[in-house]
Structure 1
Amino acid sequence: MDNDSDAGFRLAVDLASQNGMDETARANRASLLEAYQDIAEGKMERFMALLHPSVSLHQAPSLPYAMDTKGLDETLAGFEQVMVAWAKMHVTITELTAAGDLVVACMQVSARSAATGAPYEAPCTEVFRFHDGQIFDWRPLYWDTHAVRNAFGLPATTQGAPA
């Protein structure tokens, strides 16, 4: 995969410390790191193999691709929906930490909406819960969902705001 700045998708891995993890956490973190490294080379197979048959993917209700999937087919369809929503997406993993069955990836996302061409840039965190060495629950947490909505030309939402 072409990994220059003009590529449609680019991933860089820049990790800090690895302290405070047990063997399960180390194994889960290593599996996800290897999958991310493969994604950086344009290979998705290892990541797809990490997904548990009962995996769920949760995207915030305010996002243009809000979802709560259950099962591999729904999750893959949901993931595809997110990927086609962005014309370009560059992700840099800045931290990958784990404890027990939980792995958290902190990243910087720079993207363009496929619908409008408008840019989006902000931190994002993906929280993965593992079961028997596979991702069972996946929760991307965007720093600014309002900015995502703006990039897609959608009106502001008051969902989740105090009454």
Structure 2
Amino acid sequence: MTVDVMITLRAFYAAEAAYLTEGAGFEQMAAHLASDVVMYQASSLPYGGEWRGHEGFRAFIAAMGESWDGLWFDEQQFVSDNDRVVVYSRGRLRARRTGRTLETSLLQWISFKDGLITEFRPYYHDTSAVLAALTAESNP
């Protein structure tokens, strides 16, 4: 793993959290993405499907932002094979509509080329818990 890949990845994660939590601009994330980046999301999620290129990723992150208004990473571990990184993330998301906070974990397979992210393949621990946080009303 080159230092550049980890710098790129950590900067991307910080920009993603700032976008969802603080309303930061998309451009902070885009600086770390290849022009032909692909995001794959579980089809059962409100932001599911394949999102291609910067405009596709912009649409994905906007759709994700409609679902969540907070993202905090509590733990991250990285395993690398040159231009691919597997990331274990444990953290919290706050659902915009319900106000519920979901504590969850996921694995992501992330590919790089020329120091930029080309592909994300997230594998959620429990997509039904994600959907429940987004749809269940919060308890008073």
Q: TM-score, normalised by structure 1?
A: 0.68
Give the total of aligned pairs.
131
Matched with 1:54 is 36
Q: Which has the higher helix share?
A: 2
> Residues 131 and 81 of structure 1: is their aligned pair in 2 closer, same or farther, counting only changes over 3 Å?
same
The yes-or-no answer on 1:132 pairing with 2:114 is yes
Which of 72, 78, 102 is the aligned partner of 1:120?
A: 102
Matched with 1:141 is 123
> Residues 40 and 84 of structure 1: is their aligned pair in 2 closer, same or farther, counting only changes over 3 Å?
closer
The yes-or-no answer on 1:89 pairing with 2:71 is yes
**Higher Cα Rg, which structure:** 1
SS at match of 1:33: helix
By how many angstroms is 1:124 displaced? 1.7
Question: Match of 1:31, as an amino acid?
Answer: T
SS at match of 1:120: strand
CA distance in 1, matches of 2:39, 2:113: 14
Matched with 1:8 is none
Deviations 1:61-81 (A, max 9, x none): 111211201111011110121
The yes-or-no answer on 1:107 pairing with 2:89 is yes
Two-structure CA RMSD over aligned residues (Å):
2.4
Question: Match of 1:108, as an amino acid?
Answer: R
Deviations 1:98-155 (A, max 9, x none): 212102222112122212223311112222111122111112222110101111227x
By how many angstroms is 1:88 displaced? 2.5
By how many angstroms is 1:32 displaced? 1.4
Q: Which has the higher strand share?
A: 2
Structure 1 unmatched ranges of 5 or more: 1-20, 155-163
SS at match of 2:119: strand
Question: Match of 1:73, as an amino acid?
Answer: E
Structure 2 unmatched ranges of 5 or more: none
CA distance in 2, matches of 1:102, 1:110: 25
Question: Match of 2:32, as an amino acid?
Answer: L
The yes-or-no answer on 1:30 pairing with 2:30 is no
